[in-house]
Amino acid sequence: MQRLFVWVGLAFALAMAVPAHAQMTGNIERLKADLHGEDIERAGAAASALGSLKEPEARDALMGALQLGATPKLTSALIEAIGLHQSPKTLDLLRHFAGNRNAPIRAAALKALGGIDQGQVNRVLIASMGDSNPMVRATAARLAAERNARVAERTLFKMLRRGDRSAAAPLGTVGGVETAKNLAELIGEIPDAALATAFGEMLKRKSFGPDPLRTEVVKALGRIPGAEATAALVEYVASVPAKEVRQSKKTAEKLLERRSQ
């Protein structure tokens, strides 16, 4: 009798699963129809809906529509939706659109790539840091920092040295000892605000150290005039736990005291 109940339960579960799958398939088919229709607004809404569905069929529908071609607005919507799937299977297609002639589409493709956990993505981001469009360069730099892509450190340093301020915060996020030393040598050569931003981001990292290195960065900030450097020192002092004794914190407090006089 117990075995009978088990079989009945399995049969019921299967009976419920089939309609549910059929319903999902039907939803995707309806969204695909909207995706390829003439109403662009409806097509964009369908793309967003397919992006929220985690089924492979939804991802494949988006990829197919993107491969067929669409208006720039719909192309961006399709790329954004594909990015929600964060699937390695979309990598090659997104990498192709990262080289599109339309800058917003390139930026959208980079954003979608940023969520994919593959080493190849970092190479695309580094290449895009040399893009002719500042928005695309800034997007690539920010995404590299969010991924903690240390391999981008040298390229970010070159960007900042060329005067591209969008590299400052990302460089501070991934930069190590050599970058800190090299940045200190550039004081007076590149904008003070950019240097202060990079140093400030370094000091925010719990992993950045040891404390003698933090002290040297604090001293470098002390050599930079302006509100940005002062703000970076204030933020660093505030970030250190009250009971923790650090020479770098004491140095920062002395520098702030001098600036307030």
* Residue 15 scores a pLDDT above 60: no
* Residue 10 scores a pLDDT above 90: no
Hey, how many other C-beta atoms are within 10 angstroms of the C-beta on 3? 7
* Residue 98 scores a pLDDT above 70: yes
Is there a contact between 110 and 76 (Cβ–Cβ < 8 Å)? no
CA-CA distances (angstroms) from residue 135 to 92, 110, 140, 156?
A: 22, 11, 9, 15
* Residue 89 scores a pLDDT above 90: yes
Q: What is the mean pLDDT of residues 17-30?
A: 56
Q: Is residue 23 very low, low, confident or very high in pLDDT (cuts 50, 70, 90)?
A: very low
Which has the higher per-residue pLDDT, 104 or 15?
Answer: 104
- Which tens digit of pLDDT belongs to each residue from 130-162? 999 999 999 999 999 999 999 999 999 999 999
Helix (H, G, I), strand (E, B) or coil at 1: coil
Is there a contact between 61 and 32 (Cβ–Cβ < 8 Å)? yes
Residue 28 has what pLDDT? Answer: 87
Query: DSSP code of 98?
Result: T
In this prediction, what percent of the chain has a pLDDT beyond 70? 90
* Residue 14 scores a pLDDT above 70: no
Least confident of 34-48, 120-134, 178-192: 34-48
Q: Is residue 6 very low, low, confident or very high in pLDDT (cuts 50, 70, 90)?
A: very low
Longest dimension (CA), the chain: 89
Residue 187 zone, left/alpha/beta (φ > 0; ψ -120 to 50; rest): beta
Measuring CA to CA, which residue among 39, 37, 29 is closest to residue 60? 29
- Which tens digit of pLDDT belongs to each residue from 213-251? 999 999 999 999 999 999 999 999 999 998 999 999 999
Is there a contact between 110 and 125 (Cβ–Cβ < 8 Å)? yes
Name the β-bridge partners of 190: 187
Q: Is residue 200 very low, low, confident or very high in pLDDT (cuts 50, 70, 90)?
A: very high
Q: Is residue 8 very low, low, confident or very high in pLDDT (cuts 50, 70, 90)?
A: very low
Q: Where are the beta strands (DSSP E) in the chain?
A: none
Name the β-bridge partners of 187: 190
Q: Is residue 36 very low, low, confident or very high in pLDDT (cuts 50, 70, 90)?
A: confident
Least confident of 10-14, 86-90, 121-125: 10-14
Residue 26 has what pLDDT? Answer: 53
* Residue 9 scores a pLDDT above 70: no
Average pLDDT score, the chain: 90
Phi, psi (deg, nearest 5) at residue 190: -120, 160
- Model confidence, pTM: 0.84
Residue 174 has what pLDDT? Answer: 96
Q: What is the mean pLDDT of residues 51-59?
A: 92
Query: What spatial distance separates the first Cα and last Cα of the chain, rounded to whole Å?
Result: 89
